[in-house]
A and B are shown apart, each in its own frame.
Chain A
Amino acid sequence: MLRRFLPLLLALLLAVASSGCGFKDIDRRFFVVGIGIDGIDQGKKRFRITLRLAIPSSHNENGAKKSQVITQDAESVTEAVRLIKSRVNKELDFGYAKVIVLGKNIIQRDLRDTLDWMIRRRDIQMIAWMAVGDPSAEAVLKLKTSSERLAGNALMLSFGRTGVESGYIVSQYLFDFYRKTRELGLDPVLPIVQATKSGYAINTAVVFNKHSAQMYLTRDETRIFNVTYGSISKVEVEAPMGDEHLYASIDKVNMSFKVRTPPGKRPYAQLKLYTDGLLEESSVVTTPQQLSEYEEIIRKTGETRITQLLQKFQQANLDPIGFGLDYRARHFQSLDEEWRNWQQIYPQLEFRIDYTVKLKNTGVVR
């Protein structure tokens, strides 16, 4: 009996499964590789969405040419995407969007408003890279680099140490950015991508509070922030030696910190920083015997620079390193109480930096 029904059952199953499927083939899709959101102010229209679309092609070599940039103004992100859909002939697929660029003017607005669409949509990767576009997201996405082998991958390779490793690049995933906009005691930082005629330059960053952009970091500050945050492993540091200069290349950065609040004393943050590297350039004659002296010079300049940067954050009441979160983790009051206490503690927090520099050699020459 069963044997008689089984083929029928299977046939029925197959029929059901193959008919209702709305799957679209690859050549009927546009893969969005970059999303740009700019803020505009034209009456009701508040957003300008720029999408970089990759067109699937069979040859890898000429893949780079096959991309298209579409811009649309609308009053919401959804509306803009809907309007873009009416202008293209293939279905948009956001599942491969690896880079999300926010325009320089939209980050002055409330972040929650801008982020909501990206977080709420199911198909946008949480591991997309976030960046701020200067002068605008549109300009960054419209830029085509000749080194690009696949559409949009130049920007993608700049982040997360996949391609280039630079001490100036702050990398931030979408999920990381989002959690920092929500977390008490940990503030988000985004890299700024400058679109120039010849290509990108990513060497500055911007610090946010929970709502909008607050502080633009200079190039040096960005690098020092990267070292302090421990987010990079390769960085070049410079230290003055009298009138001359010393440059060391660091291969390894280890960072840990603790926030301590001893009763009756001034609260302090103890940062432990360990770096490991070698000399890269020097304008004075160097000798291997003096290595420990060079270490000391680099250590001292590093300590003052880091302290200066941390104090700058402190004065602006920003906390991109996460001292507040560490304080919360070490105290047992309720959420509100801890947070209220921390806001009184942070302005008077002292930074104690324990910076170890290890230079292995003076390079390949003495």
Chain B
Amino acid sequence: MIRYFYYLILLNMLANIVLFVPGILIARRFEGSILSVALSVPIGYVLTRIFMRALAAFPGQGFPEILRSTVPSWFGKPVLLLFIFMWISAGSLTLVTFTDTITTFINPDIPNWLTLASLLCIVALIARLSSDSVLYTMEILLVLSAPMILWILYKSMLNPSFRYDAVFEIVSHYRHWPTLDTLAAATYIFTGYVNMIIFNRLFGPLTKLRFLWTTPIVGCGVLLTSFLIPIGMQGTIGVGDFVFIWSSTTDSMRIEFGIVERVMFIFILLYSCISVAGTFIHWHVALEMSKGLLPRLSDNRYFSWITVGLFCALTMVFNWNMNQNTLEAAGRWWLELRLISEVALVALLYALARRKQRLC
């Protein structure tokens, strides 16, 4: 069962490409991205460690139960509401940006909202399953797509057009202080563990995490590849011109004797798995927290349908009002808010765990 914990982390790492992380880092490639990548590794690791240590004090409990048993509801409910908002928007942002990619590169003939609606159907149906089914589905998608993604990354680094000089040129600009947006983007890689605030229900006491030390290493690798491969392929200056950085980068790769010569289509297929998996995990967490927020209503058998329907409606409205510019701004803003609220969440949980241990 413990492997699902690592899956959650890995899924989040891979999903960074959809959620503007390379875009933000590349926009500031000459001014502090490299240092924020370097800083994000210890920050992410320490946060994970503290969070998991604190969570070990509440074996088998989700966030709503923890809040209910430790703090008064006038404090607990708004906190819960804030985090529900964060998790819904995480899923919505992923889907909306990914819909944008699909409409641009795969099927421009179909209206944007229809693509989104079909993705929403899949996500909504899965998100309201029980927690363990959600994890199993995620495992299947991840196990199917991760090896191919690794293969694409590997192929791109061996590509004869890949200029290592361009990569080193960016690395040589490490002497700049990171800004909040680059730091927020870089730390997103390590955020997968926060989903445990709901999935902790399925786990026993999590004291032994023997492979936790691998996360900073893998995370650092994933972050560097997702940030630096586009630079190696598109050049230090040219890379800033692209909107869909990774789609254009994979479009620049050619595998002559692969199943499809153009890597971009394989890439988009794989990332549709990853972004769908990421979204239903986020929405499942949001749904479970909503159940905790409204315990009396959640007994109703239509509660989960209605809630998920509401999520979908919100996403559709969000999609309707967004263009490329506002979407990017929203993504940046969301990532910054996420960093702050993540630190707040870890601090809160740590404080609650300390108090509980002192009481016992």
Measured CB to CB, the residues of A under 8 A from B are 13, 16-17, 20-24, 119, 122-123, 125-127, 160, 162, 173, 175-176, 178-184, 186, 231, 322, 325-326, 328-332, 334-335
Q: Which 4 interchain pairs have the tightest Cβ spacing?
A: A179-B235, A22-B109, A182-B238, A329-B168
Residues in B136-192 with C-beta less than 8 Å from chain A: 160-161, 163-169, 172-175
A325 touches B109 (CB 8 A): no
**B114 and A175 form a contact (CB under 8 A):** no
Listed by A's residue number, 25 A-B pairs whose Cβ atoms lie within 8 Å are A16-B114, A17-B114, A17-B118, A122-B108, A127-B251, A127-B252, A127-B254, A127-B261, A127-B262, A173-B252, A175-B161, A175-B234, A175-B248, A175-B251, A182-B235, A183-B236, A322-B165, A325-B165, A328-B236, A329-B164, A329-B165, A329-B167, A332-B172, A334-B30, A335-B30
Whether the Cβ atoms of A183 and B238 lie closer than 8 Å is: yes
CA distance A330 to B253 in the complex (A): 27
* Cross-chain contact B110 with A22 (CB below 8 angstroms): yes
Q: How far is the CA of A202 from the CA of B251 in the complex (A)?
A: 26
Whether A325 touches B166, Cβ cut-off 8 Å, given contacts A13-B121, A335-B30, is: yes
Are A183 and B262 in contact (CB-based, < 8 A)?
no
Q: How far is the CA of A331 from the CA of B111 in the complex (A)?
A: 48
- Tell me the smallest distance from the CB of B23 to a CB of chain A, in Å: 17
> In this assembly, does B133 line the interface, its C-beta being within 8 Å of a C-beta of chain A?
no
Interface-central residue, B160, B165, B253, by most chain A CB under 10 Å: B165
Kindly report which residue of chain A lies nearest to residue B172, judged by CB atoms.
Answer: A332
Partner of A175, one of B105, B118, B167, B252: B252
Candidates B108, B117, B172; contact of A331 at CB < 8 Å? B172
Is B233 interfacial (CB-CB < 8 Å)?
A: yes
With contact pairs A17-B114, A322-B163 given, residues A183 and B252 touching in the complex (Cβ less than 8 Å): no
Question: Residue on A with the closest CB to B232?
Answer: A179
Q: How far is the CB of A323 from chain B (nearest CB, A)?
A: 10
Tell me the count of chain B residues lying within 8 A, CB to CB, of chain A.
41
Task: State how many angstroms separate the Cβ of A11 from the closest Cβ of chain B.
Answer: 13
Please name all residues of chain B whose beta carbon is closer than 8 Å to the beta carbon of A173 when the two chains form the complex.
161, 252, 254
Knowing A20-B111, A122-B104, A122-B105, say if A179 contacts B172 (CB, 8 Å).
no
Cβ of B237: which chain A residues have Cβ within 8 Å of it?
179, 182-184
Cβ of B110: which chain A residues have Cβ within 8 Å of it? 20-23
Looking across the interface, which residue of chain B has its beta carbon closest to that of A17? Answer: B118
Most B C-beta atoms less than 10 A away, residue of A21, A127, A182, A186: A127
Cα distance A186–B165 in the bound complex, in angstroms: 11
Q: Which residues of B, 235-273, contact A by the 8 Å Cβ criterion?
A: 235-239, 241, 248, 251-254, 256, 261-262
**Residue of A16, A24, A326 most packed against chain B (CB within 10 A):** A326
Binding site for A on B (CB under 8 A): 30, 104-105, 107-111, 114, 117-118, 121, 160-161, 163-169, 172-175, 233-239, 241, 248, 251-254, 256, 261-262
Contact A329:B251 (CB < 8 A) given known A179-B235, A179-B238 = no
Task: State whether A332 touches B251 (Cβ < 8 A).
Answer: no
* Alpha-carbon gap, A231 to B251, bound state (A): 21
Q: A127-B254, A325-B169 are in contact. Are A179 and B234 (CB under 8 A)?
A: yes
Contact of A329 among B105, B166, B175 (CB under 8 A): B166
B111: chain A residues within 8 A (beta carbon): 20
Q: How far is the CA of A322 from the CA of B167 in the complex (A)?
A: 13
A178 to B237, CA, bound (A): 10
CB distance from B313 to the nearest CB of A (A): 16
- Contact across chains for A184 and B236 when beta carbons are under 8 A apart: yes
Q: Within the complex, which residue of B108, B168, B175, B248 is in contact with A126, where a contact is CB–CB below 8 Å?
A: B248
Q: What is the CA–CA distance of A295 and B168 in the complex, to the nearest angstrom?
A: 35
How distant is A274 from chain B, measured CB to nearest CB, in Å?
A: 16
B117 touches A16 (CB 8 A): yes
A329 touches B114 (CB 8 A): no
CB-defined contacts of A330 to chain B, threshold 8 Å: 168, 172
State how many angstroms separate the Cβ of A355 from the closest Cβ of chain B.
21
Q: A183 contacts which chain B residues (CB < 8 A)? A: 166, 235-238
Q: Taking the nearest CB of chain B, how far is it from the CB of A152, in angstroms?
A: 15
Q: How far is the CA of A329 from the CA of B231 in the complex (A)?
A: 13
Contact A125:B114 (CB < 8 A) given known A23-B109, A325-B169: no
Closest chain-A Cβ to B119's Cβ sits at a distance in Å of 12
The chain A residue sitting closest to B248, CB to CB, is A126
Chain A residue numbers with a CB within 8 Å of B172 are: 328-332
Instruction: State the CA gap A32–B168 with chains docked (Å).
Output: 38
Cβ–Cβ contact B241 & A182, under 8 A: yes
Looking at A13, A160, A176, A329, the one whose CB has the most chain B CB atoms below 10 A away is: A329
In the docked arrangement, what's the CA distance between A175 and B111, Å? 28
| A21 and B235 within 8 A (CB) | no
Contact A328 B251 (CB under 8 A): no
User: For residue B231, which residue of chain A has the nearest CB?
Assistant: A179
A335–B176 CA distance with the chains assembled, in angstroms: 12
* Distance (whole angstroms) from the CB of A241 to the closest CB of chain B: 34
Q: Chain A residues near B241: list those with CB within 8 A.
A: 119, 182
A159, chain B: closest CB distance, angstroms:
11
Complex CA distance for A21 and B111, rounded to whole angstroms:
8
Residue on A with the closest CB to B174?
A332
Decide: B109 and A180 in contact? CB cutoff 8 A: no
Q: Answer whether A21 and B252 are a contact pair too, CB < 8 Å, given A16-B114, A183-B238, A325-B163.
A: no
Query: Which residues from chain A contact B108 at a C-beta distance below 8 Å?
Result: 122-123
Docked pose: A119 CA to B165 CA in angstroms = 23
Beyond A175-B252, A325-B165, 17 extra complex contacts between A and B, CB < 8 Å? A13-B118, A21-B110, A119-B241, A127-B252, A127-B261, A162-B256, A173-B254, A179-B234, A183-B235, A184-B236, A322-B165, A325-B169, A325-B236, A329-B166, A330-B172, A332-B174, A335-B30
